[in-house]
Amino acid sequence: MEIKNFSDFCEQVLPDFNKFLDTKLRTEIKQDTLRDAMLYSLDAGGKRVRPMLFLAVAYSCGIKQENLSKMYDIAGAIELVHTYSLIHDDLPEMDDSDYRRGKLANHKKFGVGPAVLAGDGLLTQAFYWIAKSSLDTDKRMAAVRILAHNAGPMGMVAGQMTDITMENKVLNEEELTTLHKEKTADLITAAVTIGAFCANHELSSRLVQYANDIGLAFQLKDDLNDADDGEDNSKNTFPNLIGKEATKTKLNDLVKDALNSVLKETEFDKNLLVSFLDYFKE
């Protein structure tokens, strides 16, 4: 069936991918409480933006729809890492949130110890899935390298450390941009770049720029939504630092830049990545 845009792509691929994720983890994890706690957050209604972006990039680089399921292990690994990060982010010693996606946070449902272990389990299992995937060794190695680089202490974990240790200091624009790049954009960039690698696409700085821009835009959109809901105005966010209107302008500029970058890509079907940008429309 013809795929018209990113949301159409998700409609066609997501049900199958969701079934894969649930079945695989349910079969692999034998310890009951651990399995329940891991699946509780994995099946809690996340949008699956990162694995869908990964698969959309692979598809745009020429991987046929009927072959995308060979890449589900890698897509799944990216979602496992994202899910772990949200469980740990909600913990009392981190962002201390009682709810996530309208449901009790993992530690509120299972307790802090089990929630830490559910996160640990998801993170570790992600790399097991990549190692066991049927893709060629060079692709698996690239996936491990990029995911570890961007989600670990050179990326997302570093951003989270800055976030929790700089809580009482007002960060300037440059510091805040670095924090958001590491904490939020790096995992999104990993999804895009691993997608290109797995589809034999020669990675260009334009695609990396597109990914970095949408990663930062993602954070700004989330912060603008929180600001509209009256969230804590002492947090280090762009709406709190430069105001909501200036943040909206910054968000629109990032989306325009992302569009310009992807339009310059050659040997690449740009339709899905261009239509993904609709996510940022009000």
Instruction: Name which of 201 and 250 has its Cβ closer to ligand GRG.
Output: 250
Q: Cα–Cα distances in Å, from 261 out to 70, 200, 210?
A: 28, 20, 6
Of the pair 19, 47, the CB lying nearest ligand GRG is at 47
Q: Contact region for ligand GRG (CB under 6 A) — 25-33, 44-52, 191-199, 249-257?
A: 44-52
Q: Residues 6, 40, 129, 218: which binds ligand GRG (CB under 6 A)?
A: 218
Per rule CB under 6 A, is residue 152 in the interface with ligand GRG? no
Angstrom distance (rounded) from CA 75 to CA 125: 13
160 is a contact residue toward ligand GRG (CB under 6 A) = yes
Residue of 109, 95, 97, 96 lying closest to 41 (CA atoms): 109
Residue from 184, 193, 240, 247 in contact with ligand GRG (CB under 6 A): 184
Instruction: Pick the closest to residue 207 from 260, 253, 169 (CA basis).
Output: 260
Q: How many CB atoms lie within 10 A of CB 74?
A: 28
For ligand GRG, the binding residue among 11, 28, 222, 253 (CB under 6 A) is 222
Q: Which residues contact 233 (CB under 8 A, 6 or more apart)?
A: 227, 240
For residues 203 and 181, give the distance between their C-alpha atoms in angstroms, rounded to a whole number. 19
- Cα separation, 194 vs 207, in Å, equals 11
189 lies in the binding site for ligand GRG (CB under 6 A): no
Do residues 256 and 189 make contact, with C-beta atoms less than 8 angstroms apart?
A: no
Q: What x/- string results for residues 94 through 133 when contact with ligand GRG is judged by CB under 6 A?
A: -------x--------------------------------
Shortest distance in whole angstroms from residue 127 CB to ligand GRG: 15
- Residues in region 45-84 near ligand GRG by CB under 6 A: 46-47, 49
Which tokens hold the place of 259?
């569009």
- Which residue number is nearest to ligand GRG in terms of Cβ? 46
Q: Kindly list the residues in this chain that would bind ligand GRG in the complex (CB under 6 A).
A: 46-47, 49, 85-86, 88-89, 101, 156-157, 160, 183-184, 218-219, 222
